[in-house]
A and B are shown apart, each in its own frame.
Chain A
Amino acid sequence: MRHLKILEYALSSLWRRKYKNIAIILVYTFTIAVLASILFLTHSLKTEASYLLDEAPELIVQKLAAGRHDLIPIDYAAQISKLPGVAEVRPRFWGYYYDALTEANYTLLEVSSGQPRLDMLQGRLPSAPGECAIGAGVAEVRRIGTGDDLILIDSSNIGVSLEVTGVFSSKSDLLTNDLVILGREDLIAFFGYPADLAADLAVRVNNPREVNTIAAKIKRQWPNSRPISRSEILRTYDAVFNWRSGMMLSVFAAALVAFCILAWDKATGISVEEKREIGILKAVGWETSNILELKFWEGTALSLTSLLLGLLAAYVHVFFLGATLLTPVIKGWSVLFPPFHLIPFIDPYQVLVIGFLTVPPYVVSTLVPSWKAAITDPETAMRG
């Protein structure tokens, strides 16, 4: 009961300076919302990427020339397929296309015939020359749909008209937003691929545990090659969405610094009015422990309220609003950028980390100066 009465007094004390404390709550909540938004967004993207890219090719073999990615002879496929443990080697043909009309970059990809029906495709994959399937981003920016024509300029500067046979669902935007899928012959003719060259080779192995061994053999036999395993692909996205790197770290650090300034401002001293108030409380019989409990409740009320509001705001921002405030930071110069419909993967450890990084430091930074005033002689404190 005594604790509730001290809590009541603490809330009354906060309410006496309501405008200042509301401002602190707003800033504090905003800081926590920014921190939590970044953690929620990066964790969700990282988890989704790890689930999806687990079906990526087991091994991709590129050819390098002067340190740069070069087209690879298709002959390599036959030689690599003779290596023990290799099940299949398939040349891949793909490339980038800059659309001057929309200033967007597309990724053109070939697909072989006989693919299973794709639930994420409204329509069908191209099965004849002059057909294509496109991502939702391409459809939107070009304002076309199934049955319309997509006109691109090929490597000979000649316009090529492709009938759109399918548009990928917006649920697959994270994978297909900028894709244009063509038949292999169409894509080879479009980019003017030499007859004996491919973009790279996709290697399937019998035993997934032997991928690294096979990659090492390929590298040894073809020193100008660069094998990329599926685990490297997954590790790339583990690093890309790591909040400890890149611009995410900058935004995260800025928010953390703002919070540290807030806490430091509290820790470096209390106002004359607050000291006088503590002095009066001591004079009327409050113990030092009661005063510390009072300040504890003041700090906890502010920080706990801000933490919960900040987490709520971050959750709604990331998983309901698609991280719209962070999108301009992440988007860069991309014309085609997929809208986020993230699956709410949340790491409880990160939520606990936010809680421990924000609530205890603020409470401590409230208690320390108050303790100094609480152990001061009441008359001295009242005199200021």
Chain B
Amino acid sequence: MIKHRIFIGFTLLEVCVLGLLLLVGQAQVSDRSAQELPALRTLVGALQLTDLSLWTEARYTRHPSQTDLFTPFQDFPSALEHFPAGSILAPARRQ
């Protein structure tokens, strides 16, 4: 009759570890929101940034909020979008 005790104990351990991670995560959210986010927001305002610096492979992937739907296909008629990041970027929903 030991297996069910091991299973229940292991499951409770997993739940505790997950709960602990979520609690630590919440503490990190509060901590970093108080320390880093204000400084980063100041940076955005000072430099007037409009986009995250994620995909630097093309103009329209570097600044997806500033680009238009035409740019990925501008090379020639019937051109296909060919940058890998273009597959990840979904077009913005129109208002």
B79 interface contact, C-beta 8 A: no
Within 44-81 of A, Cβ neighbours of B (below 8 Å) are at: 45, 49, 51-57, 60, 62, 64, 67-69
Which residues of the partner chain A approach B87 to less than 8 Å between Cβ atoms? 246-247, 250
From A157-165, A256-264, A327-335, the one touching the partner chain is A327-335
Within 40-64 of B, Cβ neighbours of A (below 8 Å) are at: 40-59, 61-62, 64
Contact in complex: A52, B37 (CB < 8 Å): yes
The dominant DSSP class at the B interface is helix
B7 interface contact, C-beta 8 A: yes
Contact in complex: B14, A105 (CB < 8 Å): no
Contact in complex: B40, A52 (CB < 8 Å): yes
Q: Mark A181-214, 1 if CB is under 8 A from B, else 0.
A: 1000000000000000000101000000000000
Which residues of the partner chain B approach A15 to less than 8 Å between Cβ atoms? 3
From A233-241, A265-273, A288-296, A370-378, the one touching the partner chain is A233-241
Known A-B contacts A312-B18, A344-B25; the reply to A338 vs B53 at CB < 8 A is: yes
A155 interface contact, C-beta 8 A: no
From A115-123, A144-152, A217-225, A277-285, the one touching the partner chain is A115-123
Contact in complex: B29, A344 (CB < 8 Å): yes
A11 interface contact, C-beta 8 A: yes
Known A-B contacts A68-B74, A333-B84; the reply to A226 vs B68 at CB < 8 A is: yes
Within 5-33 of B, Cβ neighbours of A (below 8 Å) are at: 7, 10-11, 14-15, 17-18, 21-22, 25-26, 28-29, 32-33
Which residues of the partner chain B approach A104 to less than 8 Å between Cβ atoms? 56
B80 interface contact, C-beta 8 A: no
Interface residue from A56, A118, A174, A179 paired with B54 (Cβ < 8 Å): A174
* Distance A250 CA – B90 CA, assembled complex (angstroms): 13
Which residues of the partner chain A approach B33 to less than 8 Å between Cβ atoms? 51, 343
Which residues of the partner chain B approach A247 to less than 8 Å between Cβ atoms? 84, 87-88
Known A-B contacts A176-B43, A232-B92, A330-B88; the reply to A308 vs B18 at CB < 8 A is: yes
Known A-B contacts A111-B47, A118-B42, A233-B65; the reply to A301 vs B7 at CB < 8 A is: yes
Contact in complex: A246, B90 (CB < 8 Å): yes
A contacts, CB < 8 Å to B? 4-5, 7-8, 11-12, 15, 45, 49, 51-57, 60, 62, 64, 67-69, 90, 92, 96, 104-107, 109, 111, 115-116, 118-121, 135, 137, 168, 171-179, 181, 200, 202, 226, 228, 232-233, 235-240, 242, 245-248, 250, 301, 304-305, 308-309, 311-312, 315-316, 319, 330-338, 343-346
Supplied contacts A118-B46, A176-B53, A239-B90, 14 more A-B pairs, CB within 8 Å: A52-B41, A55-B45, A57-B48, A62-B66, A104-B56, A111-B47, A175-B43, A178-B53, A228-B65, A232-B65, A233-B65, A335-B57, A336-B53, A338-B54
